[in-house]
Amino acid sequence: MRKIIKLIFLLMLSFLYINNVKALEYTNRVKVIKSIPLREGTGTNTKAIANLDVYDYYVMVSDKLYDDTYNKVGCNKGWYNITYYTGVNGYVCADDVEVVKSYTKDDAIASSECEIKMKEAGFPSSYWGGLCKLQESHPTWNFQAINTNLDWPLVVEKESACGKNYIPASIYDKTFLDKTCTLTSPGNYVAPSQTGVAYYMDPRNFFTEKYMFQFLDQSYDEKLKDMYSSAVLAIISPTSFYKMHKDNHIVDYIAGITSASPIAMASKIRNELGNGDSLINLWSGEYKGYEGYYNFYNWGVTDSCVRDYGATYCGLNKAKELNWKGLKTAIEDGAGSIAVSYIKVGQYTNYFQKFNVVPSNTEKRFTHQYMTNLPGAMSESKLSFSTYEANNLLDINLIFKIPVYNNMNATIVNSNNGAIEGEDNGLGSLDISTLITSSGYTYSSGYLMSVKEESSVESLKNAIEAVGGSGSATILDKDGNPVTTGPLATGYKVTVASNNAKETLAIVIKGDTSGDGKINALDLLQVQKSILGTYKLNGEYSLAGDTSGDGKVNALDLLQVQKNILGTYKING
């Protein structure tokens, strides 16, 4: 009887084991550990299809190891068959790659110490293989799961809206291109397919050193302070804008940024401006009518504005409007705008700036995105990684914040061969906050901020209506009268409309507590009386009095207003 019970028990265990094995399906990838050719056959004498770079990451056709055709001449271990692009497979020598295995499904049982750690951190099992491989090489790296609570197919559908993202038309994998959306972006960029969007949005495709940095927290890190100068120099030294301004302290100005990581900002500047001089008018400071103004971040240079007016006008007009005069001011204020608009509202990584799926920011999801370039976050990641590597910074405690979605096992198939068509000729409806931030200002519930002293009514209206071509702005003075010209002032109201969305915001000019559009002795007196408790600043006027942005009207604000009047300090919007 005991033998029968034992046999039944063993059979039960065997069934459990078989089911468990069946569930443990793997995605096999290789990580390239040295620059190598991808070959069409299993031998070093076969034709090279492409060149693969260090830390590239490719899916394996299978985990089978093929014998070397030429008796291990130049390759001792054998060959793996990998997928280069859709419909293009090739072979890599096993000597030159590392195999990375991850569970395909997200219901596996954690077994190793690292898998248990990743599970406890909130990562599903399909993330474990790639992250554990990185953790093995970089034990000081800290991986944090950011649960978006979003369904993966829904995310891809939303990001596939026609006109939301663009991809280089020259990309190798043509299945990443959409044929139904005819909108384009300057520089020969076209609409991506849902397959393309899914590829660049799926974090699991980028668990290798040079692509992980799109998940790096971009907040300022005090412990790296002494390393920022050399890191910034390493990033921007190959560029034309550095060669023009290397004697003008450009490295010092970028390295001195404290509102965000100088490394992240240097990478962003280089990614926006490129290495050459195609956008020289934005950073030379010499363009007629805009002498001394700079726009290193392409702030306000939206696709629609460029189509209508050109990059020079869009960028320099925005720089002049925001008073980005002088290298130091332009670099520091530009970084401050990015910090306030993105990093400090939860979009603290390149990935979240490109794809706004931040769980705490539900009203702005799938909008308020820094760039339309689909591979943009990945491109900036490579720059950041190479900088950290060159400056021996890979062993410090780096924090990576990685999104997690629901139902990531779902297969993404191109619907109608591409993107989801939006309304309004594919442009869709932008929410009000996105219109405001995309036009270079700051949105805060009920208020429009980052307006500089002496900014004009026309500049605000033009900036908002240039974004996406779908917004309109009506501006009223403090008495409710429509205004179309003249300077703006604290207390003015702007009604912004975009298709079915509409909102009225109070305008705030930091330092202008009196609402006359200027920062003068009256404002100084009002701030002083507010501190003493003999005068009350409310609403937008209180926000205008808080020039330092610390949430209070105090002695520091009084000092800043005084210095602004004397001309020894410039209050930032």
| Domain residue spans of the chain | 27-102, 121-214+349-424, 218-297+311-348, 429-509, 513-573
Q: What is the model's pLDDT at position 469? A: 46
Alpha carbon distances (Å) from 136 to 271, 415, 566: 30, 40, 57
**From edge to edge, which strands make up the β-sheet containing 88-93?**
48-52, 36-39, 88-93, 79-85
Residue 268 C-beta-side C-alpha neighbours within 13 Å: 26
Residue-level length of the chain: 573
Q: At what angle do helices 376-390 and 228-236 cross, to 10 degrees?
A: 130
Report pTM: 0.63
Rounded Cα gap, residues 197 and 375, in angstroms: 9
Fill in the amino acid letter for 437: T
Q: Which of 78-92, 427-441, 453-467 has the lowest mean pLDDT?
A: 427-441
DSSP 496-558: EEETTEEEEEEE--TT--SSSSS-SHHHHHHHHHHHHTSS---HHHHHHH-TT-SSS--HHHH
Instruction: Read off the tokens for 434.
Output: 């996105």
**pLDDT tens column, 106-151:** 888 999 999 999 999 999 999 999 999 999 999 999 999 999 999 9
pLDDT of 419 above 50:
no
3-state helix, strand, coil in the chain (%, to 5): 40, 20, 40
Fill in the amino acid letter for 277: D
The answer to whether the beta carbons of residues 404 and 432 sit under 8 Å apart is no
Within 10 A of 502 (CB to CB), how many other CB atoms are there?
A: 11
Pairing of the two strands 26-32 and 57-59 = antiparallel
The answer to whether the beta carbons of residues 447 and 506 sit under 8 Å apart is yes
Rounded Cα gap, residues 358 and 346, in angstroms: 6
Alpha carbon distances (Å) from 266 to 209, 235, 419, 555: 19, 7, 33, 34
Taking residues 82-97, what's their average pLDDT? 89
Sign of the CA dihedral running 441, 339, 345, 407: positive
Structural element, H or E, at residue 211? helix 209-212
Beta bridge partners of 476: 482, 493
Q: Is 332 helix (H, G, I), strand (E, B) or coil?
A: helix
**pLDDT tens column, 196-208:** 999 999 999 999 9
Higher pLDDT, 507 or 409: 507
Rounded Cα gap, residues 58 and 204, in angstroms: 11
Which homologous superfamily is 27-102 in? SH3 Domains (2.30.30.40)
pLDDT of 188 above 90:
no
Alpha carbon distances (Å) from 528 to 143, 280, 522, 533, 549: 47, 44, 10, 9, 17
- Summary mean pLDDT of the chain: 84
Q: What is the model's pLDDT at position 565? A: 92
Q: What is the CATH number of domain 513-573?
A: 1.10.1330.10
Rounded Cα gap, residues 412 and 306, in angstroms: 33
Rounded Cα gap, residues 75 and 96, in angstroms: 9
Q: What is the model's pLDDT at position 541? A: 94
Place 499 in a pLDDT band, splitting at 50, 70 and 90.
low
Taking residues 58-86, what's their average pLDDT? 86
Beta bridge partners of 402: 145
Percent of the chain with pLDDT over 90: 43
Rounded Cα gap, residues 378 and 350, in angstroms: 8
Residue in this structure with the two tokens 């693969």, named with its chain if needed:
52
**pLDDT tens column, 358-415:** 877 677 788 888 788 898 888 888 878 887 887 778 888 889 999 999 998 876 655 4
Taking residues 483-497, what's their average pLDDT? 90
Structural element, H or E, at residue 117? helix 113-121
Taking residues 5-31, what's their average pLDDT? 50
Place 500 in a pLDDT band, splitting at 50, 70 and 90.
low
Q: What is the model's pLDDT at position 299? A: 84
Q: At what angle do helices 113-121 and 125-137 cross, to 10 degrees?
A: 120
Q: What is the model's pLDDT at position 356? A: 92
Alpha carbon distances (Å) from 26 to 134, 152, 216: 18, 20, 27
Taking residues 24-44, what's their average pLDDT? 86
Phi/psi for 48 (5° steps) reads -80, 130
Taking residues 532-546, what's their average pLDDT? 92
Residue in this structure with the two tokens 């002494």, named with its chain if needed:
226
Taking residues 341-357, what's their average pLDDT? 90
Q: What is the model's pLDDT at position 6? A: 43
Structural element, H or E, at residue 448? strand 447-449
Beta bridge partners of 403: 146
Within 10 A of 533 (CB to CB), how many other CB atoms are there?
A: 7
Within 10 A of 225 (CB to CB), how many other CB atoms are there?
A: 13
Kindly report the CA angle at 37 between 34 and 38, in degrees rounded to 5? 115
The residues, any chain, with a CB within 8 Å of residue 68's CB and separated by 6 or more, are 42, 43, 75, 76, 78, 79
Q: What is the model's pLDDT at position 467? A: 59
pLDDT of 35 above 70:
yes
The residues, any chain, with a CB within 8 Å of residue 24's CB and separated by 6 or more, are 103, 108
Q: What is the model's pLDDT at position 72? A: 66
Phi/psi for 557 (5° steps) reads -65, -40
